[in-house]
Amino acid sequence: MRSIVLASVALFALVTGPAFAANEISFGDDSGEYANDGECDDPRFVGEGMTTTDLLSDDRLKDATDCKAAFDAGKLALNGVTDDGTIDFGDDEGDYANDGECDDMRFTGPGMTTTDLIQEDILHDATDCKTAFDAKRIKLLLK
């Protein structure tokens, strides 16, 4: 019986695919300084299609062609989002963790910090971000 359940779960995962399809994600436009260079510069993503340079919050939603092509090719996923759509909030190892404001540039909303967002805070402000997310003061930046 267990093997039937496991096989059913595996089949469901294959049929349903990743948690977020490309049509659920806004890739933005190509107005970023590094758009159309063959590498995704949008810090909302992770994978082999990403640039190796530092990620900047200014590049969110500004490298559409590169990011969509890599996402469609299976070379990118949403950073910190599991295949079942669960958000990984990470840990509290960031310099500004536990200050009452979310500093993770994957999110947007009134629960966010008003200071510049930096790459090092991605997945490193879990308590603040989860608290704001649960209170509907931030959301994962998809669109």
Query: What is the tens place of the pLDDT at every residue in 126-135?
Result: 999 999 999 9
Map out the domains of the chain as residue ranges.
2-78
- Residue 22 clears pLDDT 90, i.e. is over it: no
C-alpha–C-alpha distance, residues 4 and 10, integer Å: 10
The predicted model scores a pTM of 0.76
Mean pLDDT of 78-91: 91
Mean pLDDT of 41-69: 95
pLDDT band for position 68 (cuts 50, 70, 90): very high
pLDDT band for position 27 (cuts 50, 70, 90): very high
Please provide the DSSP assignment of the chain as one string: -HHHHHHHHHHHHHHH-SSS-GGGS--B-S-STTTTSSSB--TTEESTTB-SSPPBGGGTTB-HHHHHHHHHTT--EETTB-TTS-B--B-S-STTTTSSSB--TTEESTTB-SSPPBGGGTTB-HHHHHHHHHTTS-EE---
